[in-house]
Amino acid sequence: MNKLPTYFEARKWASFRIQNLTQVDMTAIDFLLEKQLGLTTVGLLSHYRDVMTAEQWQKFQENVDQLLGGKPVQYIVGQTDFYGLTLAVTPAVLIPRVETEELVDWVLTETAGYQSDPLRVLDIGTGSGAIAIALKKNRPNWQVTASDISDAALKVAEKNARNLQTPITFVQSDLFQNLTGSFDLIVSNPPYIAISEKSEMDASVIENEPAIALFAPQNGLAIYQRLAHEADRYLTPAGRLFLEIGFRQQAQVENIFHTSMPAATVIAKHDVAGHERMIEIKK
């Protein structure tokens, strides 16, 4: 391409580059264009005839090369969208998935009667801060604490909280190690993938996203076992624990909590695709 392209021509050029690559689709290209150019989806459509500057075109070509090399588009642009929010992401944090949006939605639905109450809420393994920030944005009166074992992840989460003006308390902690007090709600999307499942995973995930946020010992169940053993002491008498789980783990996680917290009620919920994805434990 000898002349500077319009946005539409740049998109078409990228489509030819990816046409034989099943791991990249036009959704990623559109996301790349939108975030690079600072446009919404509608804005991109309305500006398709605009001509790129030389700097924009050069950057877009470099970004597409990274995408073709297997780097997730969210890390390329340093942003992702989650529950109506734009969050900064780096390779220090997991890229939030749509399943986690469903977990947030479930928490908000299940606690609709407590919108104005100053509930004490804990997000364990916050990563980018996605869950904690989404909950705080939708329930401003809640007192939200977010923890993570990774200092690098907490720096990303703190940046997102500042950018989105959500006052959250951040604590570096291995589960409950550095936490005190009790909470009305504890929410977590912990690492739950078994090492043995690595061969089934997308190479771009394994090569780019933090292993500490993906994999757990004991066939992916180690963190659930620890939570089941420790959470009771940190929940208020009517406290509730919401967890994301792997899509084949429901029976095992239910059994873990029935064993460690026999007086609790365990409720499972499937995602919109019908997969086992969420567990609620009520004291």
Residue 91 known to bind ligand: no
pLDDT band at 83 (very low <50, low <70, confident <90, very high): very high
Residues paired with residue 93 on neighbouring β-strands, in sequence order: none
Average pLDDT over residues 129-144: 98
Structure confidence at residue 161 (pLDDT): 98
CA pair distance 137, 189, nearest whole angstrom:
18
Q: Which domains, from first to last, does the chain contain? A: 7-77 (1.10.8.10), 84-282 (3.40.50.150)
37 and 56 in contact (C-beta within 8 Å)? yes
Structure confidence at residue 2 (pLDDT): 66
Structure confidence at residue 24 (pLDDT): 78
The structure tokens listed for 264 are: 């609790």
Q: Which amino acid is residue 143, in one-letter code?
A: Q
pTM: 0.95
pLDDT band at 36 (very low <50, low <70, confident <90, very high): very high
Residue 237 known to bind ligand: no
Average pLDDT over residues 153-163: 98
Query: What's the mean pLDDT when you consider all of the chain?
Result: 95
Residue 50 has pLDDT above 90, yes or no: yes
Structure confidence at residue 18 (pLDDT): 87
Residue 127 has pLDDT above 70, yes or no: yes
CA pair distance 102, 202, nearest whole angstrom:
22
Annotate 186-227 with DSSP letters as a single string.
EEE----B-GGGGGGS-HHHHHHS-GGGTB-TTTTTHHHHHH
Residue 113 known to bind ligand: no
Q: Considering the chain, what percentage of its residues have pLDDT values greater than 90?
A: 93
Residue 189 known to bind ligand: yes
Average pLDDT over residues 62-76: 95
Residue 148 known to bind ligand: yes
Residue 125 known to bind ligand: yes
CA pair distance 72, 238, nearest whole angstrom:
41
Structure confidence at residue 1 (pLDDT): 56
Q: For residue range 176-198, list pLDDT tens digits in order.
A: 999 999 999 999 999 999 999 99
Annotate 10-61 with DSSP letters as a single string.
HHHHHHHHHTT-TT--HHHHHHHHHHHHT--HHHHHHTTTSBPPHHHHHHHH
pLDDT band at 23 (very low <50, low <70, confident <90, very high): low
Maximum alpha-carbon separation in the chain: 71
